[in-house]
Amino acid sequence: MLIKIVTFYVKESDVKAFIEATRINRRNSIQEEGIESFDFFQCRDDSSKFVLYEVYNSQQAMDEHLKTAHFKAWNETVTPYLAKPTDRAVYIPAAESI
């Protein structure tokens, strides 16, 4: 299992458009084989900050997700909405890192 957490910092003027585009991407992503969870959160204290919490059953599933048409379309759409670069990290179960 791999967990990918990506934090997005969105321009205030593009928050609604970012939310709509990401909802569409999420809807398509959760249908992919190998994706266990694909959740989308908005920061309660900063409405222009968002997190995607993605759970994959393998590295291959994560790699395949990045090749999908819906991901590519979403990425192209939302990139201009970003106020600054994203923060991202991939996590594994702690027992696997020993």
Say which DSSP state 30 is in: T
The pLDDT value recorded for residue 96 is: 63
The answer on pLDDT for 97 being more than 70 is no
In CATH, what is the architecture of 2-93? 2-Layer Sandwich (3.30)
User: CA 36 to CA 68: how far, in whole Å?
Assistant: 16
Predicted confidence (pLDDT) per residue in 30-61, tens digit: 999 999 999 999 999 999 999 999 999 999 99
Q: Which two tokens stand for residue 57?
A: 């059953």
Contacts of 57 (CB under 8 A, 6+ apart): 1, 2, 34, 35, 36
The pTM assigned to this predicted structure is 0.90
Contacts of 32 (CB under 8 A, 6+ apart): 61, 64, 65, 68
User: CA 56 to CA 48: how far, in whole Å?
Assistant: 26
